Amino acid sequence: MHKRTIPVILAGLVLAGCGSSATTNAGELPGEAQVSPAPMPEPVAVRSTQPAPRQRSAPIASTQKGVVGAQAILATWAQALETHDFGRAWVQFSHPPAARDAFARWWRRYRTIRVTTGPGEMEGAAGSSYYTAPATISGVDLRGRAYLLQGDVVLRRVNDVDGATPAELRWHIESADLKNVLP
């Protein structure tokens, strides 16, 4: 089967083709509340079916200089994709909000999304820190077909240089190069 490429480009996120590869360029992690059962005779707490309130600002970890901050953004992105919160996934990138709708439209082709990431590597260059981690995204598309995307996700944070903005000093996804590996 012929693989087609769908580049997701910052300038308007031009979506070309209808296929099986995504490249995105471009940064909150509200988890669901999990409550352990209380010891008897107190009543047992039940996991809420209501969505957790959304955190509006980036987590504190995103401004940390090391691996912890990068991994926090990566985990937020993964959770947002899995829960189909594409706006929150987009915020993890460094791109302007104008392209968010096209990004969400592209991801809506998938009925289920499961993201796994592996351990990454930290590098420094020209006043920035980079964290590159392998990612695998799998599931079923809207037509009921299995898909498997694999590639690297690159995160970036500007180091403490004079004139750096708060947005530059937080970890964000610089790029995600995901390609379909299924025929």
If you search the block for the tokens 């809207």, which residue do you land on?
142
Burial class for 181, CB neighbours closer than 10 Å (0-12, 13-18, 19+):
middle
Res 62: pLDDT: 55
Residue 28 vs residue 168, higher pLDDT: 168
Residue 131 vs residue 35, higher pLDDT: 131
CA distance 113 to 130: 26
Domain ranges of the chain: 6-28+58-180
Average per-residue pLDDT in the chain? 73
Res 147: pLDDT: 97
> Of 76, 79, 34, 32, nearest to 57 (Cα)?
76
Pick one of 3.10.450.50, 3.10.20.30, 3.30.460.10, 1.10.3720.10 as the CATH number of 6-28+58-180: 3.10.450.50
User: How would residue 58 be classed by pLDDT, with cut points 50, 70 and 90?
Assistant: very low
Res 165: pLDDT: 82
User: How would residue 63 be classed by pLDDT, with cut points 50, 70 and 90?
Assistant: low
φ/ψ of 73, rounded to 5, equals -70, -40
The sign one gets for the Cα dihedral 157, 152, 112, 11 is positive
Token pair belonging to 83: 């829960």
User: How would residue 8 be classed by pLDDT, with cut points 50, 70 and 90?
Assistant: very low
Secondary structure (H, E, C), 3-71: CCCEEECCCCCCCCCCCCEEEEECCCCCCCCCCCCCCCCCCCCCCCCCCCCCCCCCCHHHHCCCHHHHH
